[in-house]
């Protein structure tokens, strides 16, 4: 399954709302989608699993939604530490695959 993320880059200011999209080439039969955050020089960190469940320790300004082939990660109010690259990942079909990433940068 191919995951296509948009936009490639999102230029926003602290306090703004960020909306990131992930589209899958095939419908996911269940809630088999997650999101990761990656900062420069660091490993990815799991943010969201099962489309909308926050991983341990993830603040509630992060939320996930969607179904079928269209999924969204929303950051309600950007904090300085949220500027990073975000990846979606599907686990409904083997091999598991990732999107190419959306960079959220400071405007």
Partner 1 sequence: QVQLQESGPGLVRPSQTLSLTCTVSGGSLSSGGYYWSWIRQHPGKGLEWIGNIDYSGSTKYNPSLKSRIILSIDTSKNHFSLKVNSVSDADTAVYYCARDTDWLFDRWGQGTLVTVSS
The reply on whether position 46 binds partner 1 by CB under 8 A is yes
The answer to whether 99 and 46 have CB atoms below 8 angstroms apart is no
The reply on whether position 52 binds partner 1 by CB under 8 A is no
- Is the preceding peptide bond at 52 cis, omega within 30 degrees of 0? no
The answer to whether 69 and 27 have CB atoms below 8 angstroms apart is yes
In the complex, minimum distance from the CB of residue 80 to partner 1, in angstroms, rounded to a whole number: 22
Q: Secondary structure of 5-32 in the HEC alphabet? A: EECCEEEECCCCCEEEEEEECCCCCCCC
Q: Which is nearer to partner 1, 12 or 46 (CB)?
A: 46
In the complex, minimum distance from the CB of residue 46 to partner 1, in angstroms, rounded to a whole number: 5
In the complex, minimum distance from the CB of residue 50 to partner 1, in angstroms, rounded to a whole number: 9
Residues forming contacts to partner 1 in the complex (CB under 8 A) are: 32, 34, 36, 42-46, 49, 55, 87, 89, 91, 94-101
């Amino acid at each position: 399954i191919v995951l296509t993320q948009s936009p490639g880059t999102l230029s926003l200011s602290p306090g703004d709302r960020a909306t990131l999209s992930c589209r899958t080439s095939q419908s996911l039969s269940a809630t088999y989608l997650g999101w990761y955050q990656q900062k420069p020089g660091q490993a990815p960190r799991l943010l969201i699993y099962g489309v909308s469940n926050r991983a341990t320790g993830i603040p509630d300004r992060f939320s996930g939604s969607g179904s079928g082939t269209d999924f969204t990660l929303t950051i309600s109010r950007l904090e300085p530490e949220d500027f990073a690259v975000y990846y979606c990942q599907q686990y409904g079909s083997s091999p598991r695959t990732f999107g190419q990433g959306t960079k959220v940068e400071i405007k």
